[in-house]
Chains A and B, each alone.
Chain A
């Protein structure tokens, strides 16, 4: 029972974050979150079809979650530095 609840507790967060909702708040969309959930459940179904043990799903969800936050952060940093350069160019 404990295992199932822990599993279920993580999945929505993973779906929402993978769907592009920033964990800091302030950006994201319901459609994105739904797409994130769709992606995760598609991966779950694909694992069954590929006869991969379902144990992998939780590990994959966790890895995707971390990947999504890391990517979000990297894109954010890249965007910030691009904006800074543009403002320097425009200013000078």
Chain B
């Protein structure tokens, strides 16, 4: 029963009264507001660049959603991205073919994730502390591998996938990849026993354990997925900038965590939907893009991003409190009436 992401069993308009619908409204508001301020906002080419801009964040948000729903966190994702990018440069310099390099770096990403997972599950260490450690460790290893040089002599045959849309559309390749993976992760989280186990672990780990759920194994798999997708994001990032560097994607983990939390996933685990996270990724990307189009300076952009991050933590829980208050007021007459002062 812990698998229920939000109270959806009710009928009527109350069913729509949830954070995800508010996100969709906000997304529409950003689209309308953005195109009023700048007519080209909804043009195909701008949406293409918007998609390109959120590609890595969108990809890494998918497995991180599952990790956070399970009540854990992974702050090392952007460092795994950097390690993956540095490895691409190193192996390319060593004369490997890109067809071999790409699966290799995804495998290394998965291994990095397994290291996180083993430290969290086998030693029982807090995931926040472990992944702050590996945040430094993996980024450090990226610098050990490639130093501060940049490798940029990749053939255009490959780098064009990072900067051109799929022919005949305005869809960037990374977003197409993201769409496929989003469906896979949504099914995994919301329509399989594995996903229900993830919710159960996040809701109450002990209960899940005593219900026969293999808590450690599932967490290990989640960290492995997170690492592998971060390795994939490293490939996307390297192709987009046609440059393999150890400091690629530095600090990106906070943008990803912000998107997941804004998507309505509880930081304490046990609650959230993948659809909400997808909406939040594009909401944050859209706001940023609209501001850039209106020549907002980078400093202001950073302030706005920071405010959005704080808002992303406060808004979903404030919204839930408000929605609860509304439900309580509309409760049937038989229900015990509670004073509204406790919000």
- In angstroms, how far is the closest chain A Cβ from the Cβ of B254? 10
Tell me if B125 and A58 are in contact (CB < 8 A): no
**Interface size, chain B (Cβ < 8 Å):** 26
Which B residues are in CB contact (< 8 Å) with A23?
Answer: 126, 128-129
Tell me if A58 and B143 are in contact (CB < 8 A): yes
Tell me if A62 and B138 are in contact (CB < 8 A): yes
Per the 8 Å Cβ criterion, residues 59-79 of A in contact with B are: 59-63, 65-66, 69-70, 73-74
Which A residues are in CB contact (< 8 Å) with B108?
Answer: none
Tell me if B137 and A66 are in contact (CB < 8 A): yes
Count of CB-CB pairs between chains A and B under 8 Å: 79
Query: How far is it, in angstroms, between the C-alpha of A57 and the C-alpha of B143 when the chains are bound?
Result: 10
- In angstroms, how far is the closest chain A Cβ from the Cβ of B115? 9
Which A residues are in CB contact (< 8 Å) with B293?
Answer: none
B7 interface residue, CB < 8 Å from A?
no
Tell me if A73 and B133 are in contact (CB < 8 A): no
Residue of A nearest to B135 (CB): A10
Tell me if B129 and A14 are in contact (CB < 8 A): no
- In angstroms, how far is the closest chain B Cβ from the Cβ of A26? 13
- In angstroms, how far is the closest chain A Cβ from the Cβ of B126? 6
Tell me if B123 and A59 are in contact (CB < 8 A): no
- Most chain A C-beta atoms within 10 Å of own C-beta, residue among B123, B128, B129, B130: B129
A13 interface residue, CB < 8 Å from B?
yes
Tell me if B251 and A58 are in contact (CB < 8 A): no
B139 interface residue, CB < 8 Å from A?
yes
Tell me if B125 and A55 are in contact (CB < 8 A): no
Which B residues are in CB contact (< 8 Å) with A24?
Answer: 126
Residue of A nearest to B245 (CB): A3
A5 interface residue, CB < 8 Å from B?
yes
Which B residues are in CB contact (< 8 Å) with A3?
Answer: 247, 250
Tell me if A13 and B132 are in contact (CB < 8 A): yes
Question: Looking at chain A's contact residues, is the secondary structure mostly helix, strand, loop, or mixed?
Answer: helix
Tell me if B125 and A73 are in contact (CB < 8 A): yes
- Tell me whether A56 and B129 are in contact in the complex, defined as CB-CB below 8 angstroms, given that A2-B251, A6-B251, A66-B119 are known contacts: no
- Tell me whether A62 and B123 are in contact in the complex, defined as CB-CB below 8 angstroms, given that A3-B247, A56-B140, A56-B144 are known contacts: no
- With beta carbons under 8 angstroms apart, the residue of B124, B126, B132, B143 that contacts A59 is B143
B134 interface residue, CB < 8 Å from A?
yes
- With beta carbons under 8 angstroms apart, the residue of B125, B137, B143, B148 that contacts A63 is B137
**Interface contacts beyond A59-B139, A66-B119, A70-B125: sample of 11 additional A-B pairs, CB < 8 Å, sorted by A:** A3-B250, A6-B139, A10-B135, A14-B136, A58-B137, A61-B140, A62-B134, A62-B135, A65-B132, A73-B124, A73-B125
List, sorted by A's number, 28 A–B pairs whose CB atoms are closer than 8 Å: A2-B247, A2-B250, A3-B247, A3-B250, A6-B135, A10-B135, A13-B132, A23-B128, A53-B144, A55-B246, A57-B140, A58-B139, A59-B141, A59-B143, A61-B136, A62-B134, A62-B135, A62-B136, A62-B139, A62-B140, A65-B129, A65-B132, A66-B119, A66-B130, A66-B134, A69-B133, A70-B125, A74-B123
**Chain B residues packing against A (C-beta within 8 Å):** 119, 123-126, 128-130, 132-141, 143-144, 147-148, 246-247, 250-251
4 tightest A-B contacts by CB?
A59-B140, A62-B137, A62-B136, A58-B140
